[in-house]
Structure 1
Amino acid sequence: MSTMAENVIVAGADNRPPMLGKGQYNSWQSRMLLYIRGKENGKELYDSVINGLFQFGTVDVPATPTTPAFTRDIIYEDLIEKEKIREACDIRATNIVLQGLPPDVYTLVNHHIVAKEIWDRVKLIEGTELSLQEQESKLYNEFNRCTSEKGEIIYSYYL
């Protein structure tokens, strides 16, 4: 027989998306996409993150005896049930992605309201971040390819 604490741990295991760790973007990305696909309406959530907002589009309204034919924007009431689910998934996908971000990254992207925009921004932020060791190594490699004046130090070269 299991204890209540074990049940709480098991029950809560799927309640929170994977958290992004420093320098772990690639791993987080694949885990997050698996997490999203495993949720209810996972295909639609995934589509929101990768392809962006559901586009309502337009509809052609045929002519009547009193009005000419015209094209109008589709409104929510025009959507079929499957399209309404997809549209609702846009908001849910944004929430899921935001929940998987640490506070420092969240602060940089929380003004975006579209999951794809957040996803792309996090990719850009994490993709350009180099560890201190990587930066130092890159700096020395670039310095070794350059010539220097006698007595010049690497620090002054990059100022």
Structure 2
Amino acid sequence: MSNQQDIYAAGSENRPPILNKDNYIPLSSRIIRYARSRPNGKMIIDSIENGPYVRRMIATPGEPDLLVLVLESFHEQTDEELTENDIKRMDADDQAIQTILLGLPEDIYAIVDSCETAKKIWERV
């Protein structure tokens, strides 16, 4: 029969393992394995290790009829210009944050609460 600490360390299919300050190295490995088992697992891990999806800058053709010749300009990718894969990546960024935060005790959660990306949370923990 396992005790409560063993249950926290193991996690479950629906919840990542919980961080115990004495077992960070094994826990980090367990969280990565848990993330890998989720839908979009590779994208979740990529978000944790490399940071969130960054919208691309899209070139807009210039307007040759203007007084001052403008060859082209750039704008940040809009929601309408996102591909299905871009949207999955953005969802994976949110899932990565949630995966890490669910495994943190309240005192550590309070320390990383201001971090906006999974990568920053991961580095801080």
Correspondent of 1:91 among 94, 97, 116: 94
Structure 1 partner of 2:20:
21
TM-score of the pair, normalised by structure 1 = 0.65
- The answer on 1:56 being equivalent to 2:55 is yes
Alignment of structure 1 residues 1-159 onto 2, 5 Å: 13-66=12-65, 68=70, 69-122=72-125
Q: Structure 1: which amino acid aligns with 2:80?
A: E
Supply the distance in 2 between the matched residues of 1:38 and 1:91 (Cα, whole angstroms): 16
Count residues in correspondence: 111
Helix, strand or coil for the counterpart of 1:63? strand
Structure 2, unaligned runs of 5 or more = 1-10
Task: Tell me how far 1:101 sits from its aligned partner.
Answer: 0.6
Structure 1 partner of 2:5:
none
Helix, strand or coil for the counterpart of 2:22? coil
Task: Tell me how far 1:13 sits from its aligned partner.
Answer: 3.1
TM-score of the pair, normalised by structure 2 = 0.82
Higher relative contact order (CA 8 A, sep 6+): 2
Which segments of structure 1 move beyond 2 Å, counting only runs of 4 or more? 63-68
Which has the larger Rg?
1
- Report Cα offsets for 1:90-146 as digits up to 9, x if no partner: 111111100011111111111212111100000xxxxxxxxxxxxxxxxxxxxxxxx
Task: Tell me how far 1:65 sits from its aligned partner.
Answer: 4.8
The Cα RMSD (Å) is 1.6
Supply the distance in 1 between the matched residues of 2:116 and 2:74 (Cα, whole angstroms): 28
